[in-house]
């Protein structure tokens, strides 16, 4: 089975994609409108994987550093970069 990923960037112009239609699988009810993706979902794939791994390591940077084969300061810096990016995305969402 091919794992499909949610597209976030327009393949034509490079713009940010938004959700426009949602449909219930059970009854086919549709909801239409323009909804921006949440900030967390707008992170790059490798940043999303990092966040997921961080959660699966129970929030332990030490365990995550071990899993990734990196030093604790490297993992801490990467987390700080992701936090900064999330703050930027949330601020742009609110403006």
CATH top-level class of 38-94: mainly alpha
Q: Is the confidence at residue 24, as pLDDT, over 90?
A: yes
Residue with tokens 């549709």: 30
Domain boundaries, the chain: 38-94
How many angstroms separate the CA atoms of 39 and 44, rounded? Answer: 11
For 34-87, write each residue's pLDDT tens digit: 888 889 999 999 999 999 999 999 999 999 999 999 999 999 999 999 999 999
């Amino acid at each position: 089975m091919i794992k499909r990923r949610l597209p976030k960037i327009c393949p034509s112009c490079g713009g940010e994609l938004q959700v426009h239609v949602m449909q219930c699988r059970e009854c086919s009810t549709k909801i239409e409108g323009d909804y921006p993706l949440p900030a967390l979902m707008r992170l790059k794939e490798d940043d999303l994987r990092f966040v997921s791994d961080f959660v699966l390591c129970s929030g332990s940077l030490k365990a995550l550093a071990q899993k990734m084969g990196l030093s604790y300061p490297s993992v801490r810096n990467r987390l700080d970069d992701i936090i900064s990016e999330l703050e930027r995305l949330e601020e742009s969402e609110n403006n």
